[in-house]
Amino acid sequence: MSTRLAKQGRLIDRSKQIEFSFNGRKLKGFAGDTLASALLANDQMLVGRSFKYHRPRGLVASGSEEPNALVGLGTGDRFEPNQRATTTELFSGLSAQSQNHWPSLEFDIGEVNSKLFSRFLTAGFYYKMFIHPRPFWKHVYEPFIRQSAGLGKAPNKELKDADTYEHFYFFCDVLVIGGGVAGLQAAKSAAATGAKVLVLEEKSYWGGRTPVDGGMIEGLEAEAWVAKTVAELEAMDNVTLRSRTMGAGVYDHGYILGYERLTDHAPGQGGPRHRMWRIRAAQTVTATGAIERPLSFAGNDVPGVMLAASMRDYVVNWGVTPGKRVLIATNNDDAYRTAIVLHEAGVEVVRLLDTRETGGGDLADRVRALGIRVECGRAIAKVADGKRVTKVAICAQNGEGGAREEVEADAVAMSGGWSPVVHLWSHCGGKLIWDEAQAHFRPDPDRAPTGADGKPFVVTAGTASGPLTLKAVMADAAAAGAKAAEAAGRPAQAVASIATSEVVEAQMEAVWLMPAKADIQLRMKSWLDYQNDVKVSDVQLAAREGYESVEHTKRYTTLGMATDQGKLSNINGLAILADTLGAEIPQVGTTTFRPPYHPISMGAIGGSARGDIFQPLRKTPMYDWHDANGAHWEPVGHWRRPFAYVRSGESVHDAVNREVKNTREKLGLLDASTLGKLIVKGPDAGKFLDMLYTNVMSSLKPGKCRYGLMCSENGFLSDDGVVARIDEDTFLCHTTTGGADRIHAHMEEWLQTEWWDWKVYVANVTEQLAQVAVVGPNARKLLEKLNAQAGGGMDVSKEGLAFMEWKDGEIGGFKARAYRISFSGELSYEIAVAASEGQAFWNALIEAGQEFGVMPYGTETLHILRAEKGFIMIGDETDGTVIPQDLGLHWAISKKKEDFLGKRAQERSHMVDPDRWQLVGLETVDGSVLPDGAYAVGNGLNANGQKNTIGRVTSTYYSATLGRGIAMGLVKHGPKRMGEVIDFPGLDGKIFKAKIVDPVFYDKEGEKQNV
């Protein structure tokens, strides 16, 4: 059984007991425990079920490489699935649930199934199983796969994450990822040059695993050296140290993401839970260490089978042991350290099996001296199935697994050698080389990731570079730190020589299968990928079925595709693949390493962008008034505009009808502040606008306004609006609400990149001005009353300010610019005042307008009023494929001008095709409202056997003015078919019959706006 030891546990504080729960069971641990160590201390060996076979699974590792111990953490709005027990620091009240089992962790139905059917669940089983019969996919297979996909449960969708998150931008010369002895030494060497250094360590403590492995550095025990070095670094102004912060990914041009977990270990302390560091580093040192590889033997997934070094971690760091009688299997010297640690902790090491016929070096001698039985050339044939280790069958490594001897043990420590953590090196293109001696891939320093200057920007340090002895690690780290600082532009320095203790180790031996010629029964029980349940036999099957590429094999077998991204399985899997294919490992290669190194929270990615700062909302100066007066909001780009002002007891539709009638009959006010307003000034301004608009603007007289259309070079209509000429050199161009920034950018682009010798300046003054459309028969009366109240002001009479004129002056005591323009067909003034005075001006209009029946109106009324007049709306009548000619706007396209943007395109053959759909008005025969976007169908069928379409609805409304539905649409040969009735099928099978009519439904002569 696993248990807490009497002594040991350098990271725990036995004076601070902590209560937590697992599957509802109340358990106790100590401060400094991880959830994993605390579970082991409580003899909770079984921590979850596997993905495919629902096999019982226990802890395999002690760090972020752990594949099995995924739990659901927290409750309610702080619940999060798939959290690793090994990276979860224990805190009081922690609540964890195991995953992927039904009905319970101890008894699981899925496991029964897997025992019966496991031979059918081989590599590629999804592809093979779920393809026939075809109709089963949607109703049977897909729901089944969705039900069983993923390990943990998704959080309750009704609950919002209770925590907050943020980002932080940081810049440094040298970023060191990893706070083990190599990272600390690299930081020290880099910092000595004066470089600005940031060091990230994913765990809560510094020093990595060297304090567990032992050794002397510069005359100090590793742990003491770590403490001293951290203190030295902390005292330096040019160094920043962050623990609980993982280097998550390395991206182009030295962009690195750091994932800081601020409150995971102390929920509820306030402030953000995670902080995403968005780092730009001139150079990055990856001191990310190495991961021990499992051995592939039958039953290597039974709870109690653990990586040898991880078992050592549990003993030394947290004072827990997974067993009382441990069997060790190894192909290298490192596992001997585990034997020594266990022995010193009073745990019986029943046998140490070393696959090497010649055995180990210095450490092996020490282990033998402790009286531990070491057997060379021996291997594990099989660990008996169950919820924990009970019996282990032993055999010769160089055989098929016969002539077994059975040994009683309650835990197994395994070591298949070490692989450097090359992920961060590889994220941005760093290449690897195969190291035959260590049987691992390590970074190739000659093929580093390169940055903006084409030079390497990542350096590895310590075991992440490949060397595994302390002496080599420290030398490599010191060199890496100095090299990175120099590459970041700091002065070159002599590399410090670091004195360390030395242990002579014997050559390791590559072991990819245990025993070497294991039969199929054993291979079917030898796991490569614990989390996705991929076995040696699956990879071999994939190879036999023709999967030669490692990337294909990965996807076919799902090897390495689980949330641990194959940290334990990658090398073992591709070695099996290479062996089966009869190829060399370097020829088979590795799969691609992609960020993040370890899963990170979605919250951290989003940062503070949630709630009221999820997205910027643009508000006009009168926003609060609208909000207080019943505004039903419509998003227009990032702006929020009132759709209608709904009064108590009214529906939105009622409100719109009221606003339409009131504006036609009395007086309406529209907040038009969002309309784009661009000042275009310079000696070449007229020439420039002639290029931008389809019609002539240079001939416009100061004081006058003209409606204009803008097209893209493709000929398509892009924006429209009224241009006012302010003086000889200056124009003010109105754009659509959505067009202000876009058209401003469009103008700057042409001025900066094509006509850079033209003397024109543009300024976007959209937000400088609050603009109000005063619309309706009583509009002039209101303005004249305001002027009378103020004792004078602008002449707004028919003669003083004629239709399509503008004027500066005062209205009601406000400095204003008034335009006699109309988008409604009514008598209308658009009046611009300073944005800061917008609310005061609006208030004055509302107050003085009462006697004239003033009402504000929203965007829906704006749309209906313009549609009744047959005016087009960018985004309704246009969709990026419509040219002005389609809309009957020939009158606004100059024939005299030699050139304008879009002119050449509009001469292309398909642009002058008489079959192009053209704008018409549409009136339903029964007066109902056509569905928006409905298509008209004509005679005949297309190649797919569908009815031919001959047109579509672009705008459709209920017109309160006319008491019926009105619409505009684009119809093939439309203007020639006036009076014809065409069919628009609705979504529910109903056919709408509509008559083609003139698009101007109201006041065809335009008399009302001219009064």
Partner 1 sequence: MSKAQSALNGASYAGLAKVEETGLGGMITLRGDFASAGFQAAVKAATGCDVPGVRKIASSEVGAVAWMSPDELLLLVDYAGVDAVVAQISEALAGEHHLAVNVSDARACFAVSGEGAREVIAKVAPVDLAPGQFEAGDFRRTRFAQVAGAFWLDEAGVFHIVCFRSVAVYMYNLLCTSAHPQSKVGVYA
Partner 2 sequence: MLILECPYCGVHAEETELHAGGEAHLKRFGPGASDEDFHDYLFMRENPKGVHLERWRHVNGCGKWFHAARCTMTLEVFGTYTAQTSEPPQEIKDKISAKRPGWTWREFSA
Is residue 923 helix, strand or coil? Answer: strand
**799 vs 793: CA distance, rounded Å:** 15
- Which of the stretches 101-109, 399-407, 452-460, 703-711 binds partner 2 when contact is defined by CB under 8 A? 452-460
Interaction partner, residue 754 (partner 2, partner 1, none; CB < 5-8 Å by kind): partner 2
Interaction partner, residue 898 (partner 1, partner 2, none; CB < 5-8 Å by kind): partner 2
CB of 193 to partner 2, least distance (A): 22
Which position among 24, 756, 896, 915 is part of the footprint of partner 2 (CB under 8 A)?
756
**168 vs 175: CA distance, rounded Å:** 15
- Which of the stretches 224-232, 390-398, 640-648, 901-909 binds partner 2 when contact is defined by CB under 8 A? 901-909
Which position among 734, 903, 972, 1008 is part of the footprint of partner 2 (CB under 8 A)?
903
CB of 174 to partner 1, least distance (A): 14
**537 vs 579: CA distance, rounded Å:** 12
C-alpha dihedral (324, 328, 332, 336), degrees to nearest 10: 30
Site string for partner 1, 830-849 (x = CB under 8 A): ----xxxx-xxx--------
Closest CA to 820 of 833, 811, 829: 829
Biggest alpha carbon–alpha carbon distance for the chain: 114
**670 vs 846: CA distance, rounded Å:** 11
**Number of Cβ atoms within 10 Å of the Cβ of 356:** 20
Which position among 745, 802, 912, 1011 is part of the footprint of partner 2 (CB under 8 A)?
745
Interaction partner, residue 839 (partner 1, partner 2, none; CB < 5-8 Å by kind): partner 1
Is residue 403 close enough to count as binding partner 1 by CB under 8 A?
A: no
> In this structure, what token pair is assigned to residue 861?
């009324």
Is residue 482 helix, strand or coil? Answer: helix
Is residue 268 close enough to count as binding partner 1 by CB under 8 A?
A: no
408's enclosing H/E stretch is strand 405-408
User: Is the bond preceding residue 445 a cis peptide, omega within 30 degrees?
Assistant: no
Kindly tell me the burial class for residue 103, based on how many C-beta atoms sit within 10 Å of its own C-beta (0-12, 13-18, 19 or more).
Answer: exposed
Q: Which of residues 260-319 bind partner 2 (CB under 8 A)?
A: 280
Interaction partner, residue 240 (partner 1, partner 2, none; CB < 5-8 Å by kind): partner 1
Pick 280 or 517: Cβ nearer partner 1: 280
Which position among 602, 609, 745, 978 is part of the footprint of partner 1 (CB under 8 A)?
609
CB 442 within 8 A of CB 461: no
Which residue, chain included where needed, has tokens 């370890």?
598
Is residue 754 close enough to count as binding partner 2 by CB under 8 A?
A: yes
Is residue 238 close enough to count as binding partner 2 by CB under 8 A?
A: no
Is residue 765 close enough to count as binding partner 1 by CB under 8 A?
A: yes
Is residue 131 close enough to count as binding partner 1 by CB under 8 A?
A: no
- Which of the stretches 5-13, 130-138, 302-310, 448-456 binds partner 2 when contact is defined by CB under 8 A? 448-456
Which position among 899, 913, 915, 988 is part of the footprint of partner 2 (CB under 8 A)?
899
CB of 113 to partner 2, least distance (A): 46
Is residue 204 close enough to count as binding partner 2 by CB under 8 A?
A: no
Is residue 937 close enough to count as binding partner 1 by CB under 8 A?
A: no
Beta-bridged to residue 585, according to DSSP, are none
Interaction partner, residue 582 (partner 2, partner 1, none; CB < 5-8 Å by kind): none
**427 vs 484: CA distance, rounded Å:** 18
Is residue 450 close enough to count as binding partner 2 by CB under 8 A?
A: yes
**970 vs 922: CA distance, rounded Å:** 10
**138 vs 136: CA distance, rounded Å:** 6
Residue at 297: amino acid letter: F
Phi-psi region of 372 (alpha: psi -120 to 50; beta: other; left: phi over 0): beta
**612 vs 506: CA distance, rounded Å:** 62
Is residue 266 close enough to count as binding partner 1 by CB under 8 A?
A: no
Q: How far apart are the first and last CA of the chain?
A: 97
Rounded (10°) angle between helices 838-849 and 779-790: 110
Which position among 147, 497, 648, 752 is part of the footprint of partner 2 (CB under 8 A)?
752
C-alpha dihedral (166, 171, 175, 178), degrees to nearest 10: -10
Interaction partner, residue 713 (partner 1, partner 2, none; CB < 5-8 Å by kind): partner 2
Sheet of 854-856, strands arranged across = 806-811, 814-819, 828-834, 769-775, 667-671, 854-856
Site string for partner 1, 204-243 (x = CB under 8 A): ------------------------------------x---
Is residue 807 close enough to count as binding partner 1 by CB under 8 A?
A: no
Which position among 125, 126, 251, 1002 is part of the footprint of partner 2 (CB under 8 A)?
251
Contact partners, residue 527, CB within 8 Å, separation at least 6: 294, 296, 300, 301, 533, 534, 535, 536
**96 vs 83: CA distance, rounded Å:** 9
Is residue 940 close enough to count as binding partner 1 by CB under 8 A?
A: no
The DSSP output letter for 976 is G
> In this structure, what token pair is assigned to residue 735?
């754009």
Which position among 109, 140, 613, 925 is part of the footprint of partner 1 (CB under 8 A)?
613
Interaction partner, residue 613 (partner 1, partner 2, none; CB < 5-8 Å by kind): partner 1
Which position among 116, 231, 452, 991 is part of the footprint of partner 2 (CB under 8 A)?
452
Which position among 24, 491, 616, 791 is part of the footprint of partner 1 (CB under 8 A)?
616
Pick 821 or 833: Cβ nearer partner 1: 833
Is residue 447 close enough to count as binding partner 2 by CB under 8 A?
A: no
Pick 691 or 786: Cβ nearer partner 2: 691
Pick 160 or 253: Cβ nearer partner 2: 253
Rg of the Cα atoms in the chain: 38
Pick 493 or 894: Cβ nearer partner 2: 894
The DSSP output letter for 207 is B
Contact partners, residue 958, CB within 8 Å, separation at least 6: 653, 657, 864, 929, 964, 965, 966
541's enclosing H/E stretch is helix 536-544
Which position among 252, 502, 545, 584 is part of the footprint of partner 2 (CB under 8 A)?
252
Q: Which of residues 145-164 bind partner 1 (CB under 8 A)?
A: 164
Is residue 594 close enough to count as binding partner 2 by CB under 8 A?
A: no
**Number of Cβ atoms within 10 Å of the Cβ of 627:** 13
CB 845 within 8 A of CB 669: yes
Alpha helices of 238-329 — where are they, by DSSP H? 308-318
Is residue 365 helix, strand or coil? Answer: helix
Kindly tell me the burial class for residue 232, based on how many C-beta atoms sit within 10 Å of its own C-beta (0-12, 13-18, 19 or more).
Answer: middle
According to DSSP, the β-strands at 165-177 and 197-200 are parallel
Is residue 767 close enough to count as binding partner 2 by CB under 8 A?
A: no
Q: Which of residues 384-443 bind partner 2 (CB under 8 A)?
A: 429
Pick 1 or 613: Cβ nearer partner 2: 613
Which position among 302, 485, 769, 786 is part of the footprint of partner 1 (CB under 8 A)?
769
Site string for partner 1, 658-687 (x = CB under 8 A): ---------------------x-xxx----
CB of 438 to partner 1, least distance (A): 38
Enumerate binding residues for partner 2 (CB under 8 A): 251-255, 280, 429, 450-454, 713-714, 745, 748-749, 752-754, 756, 898-899, 903-905, 907-909
Enumerate binding residues for partner 1 (CB under 8 A): 164, 166-171, 196, 240, 269-272, 275, 278, 280, 608-609, 612-613, 615-621, 638-639, 679, 681-683, 759, 761-763, 765-769, 814, 834-837, 839-841
